[in-house]
Amino acid sequence: MTYEAERALMCAVGKLLYDRGYVAANDGNLSMKTAPDRLLVTPSGVSKGRLTPDMLLVTDLEGNVLEGNRHPSSETKMHLAVYRGRLDVGAVVHAHPPVSTAFAVCRRGMETPYLSELVTGLGAVPCTPSFAMLSTDQVPRSVEPYLADHCAVLLANHGALTWGEDLWEAFDRMETVEHTAKILLNARLLGDPVALTQEETAELRSMQGMYRQLRQVREEIP
């Protein structure tokens, strides 16, 4: 069995998605690049909370199964579209977190700059304008317009999709999507949320490089 460390990581992240309530039953799917032309993907019909390393599949970038005896997730096409559109992406996570999926059902994105962390980190989270039929080419086509300028999107009447340089970053972005949705829901229940000004938003965006640098591991000084 190849990619043992990567398989163990994907099972751990899948269980975390399940334990956090971002997926239920057999919902959701994950993928990660293990080589320039190889992906590790989750199978169809298995709870992300009960994944084992041998269940995972190795595919090429066309979705052809190279290792494994299960069927890949029916939404693998959506993952492939992300990798085609963003060569810097190393992992993709699709889930159905309850509050952000409620935003998707209402077809409301989270693009207004209400939160400083949203501006400096995740960025705007748009929602696709119409429902894309599951397991068809409509789904990958629906996310393609958002790949270049975003790292997360809500899928109308479906769920959320995030991507990142690695699987942890893609998971963290999914967690941030759901956390943001909870805050916005509560803000709207309390009253009229107040957005950051254009000047404040511009200044926060100028700080993105500094925050990226702070996230990097410092080199040891001899």
| Active-site residue set | 75
Q: What is the 3-state secondary structure (H, E, C) of 81-135?
A: HHHHHCCCCCEEEEECCHHHHHHHHCCCCECCCCCHHHHHHHCCECECCCCCCCC
Alpha-carbon distances, residue 73 vs 5, 57, 78, 172, 218 (angstroms): 21, 10, 10, 21, 38
Cα–Cα distance for residue pair 148/183, rounded to 1 Å? 26
CB 56 within 8 A of CB 43: yes
Element (H, E) at 152: strand 152-155
Alpha-carbon distances, residue 164 vs 91, 114, 121 (angstroms): 6, 23, 12
Cα–Cα distance for residue pair 31/94, rounded to 1 Å? 9
CB 128 within 8 A of CB 144: no
Instruction: Mention every residue, 6+ apart, whose C-beta is less than 8 A from residue 6.
Output: 32, 34, 40
**Residue 56: both structure tokens together:** 């995972």
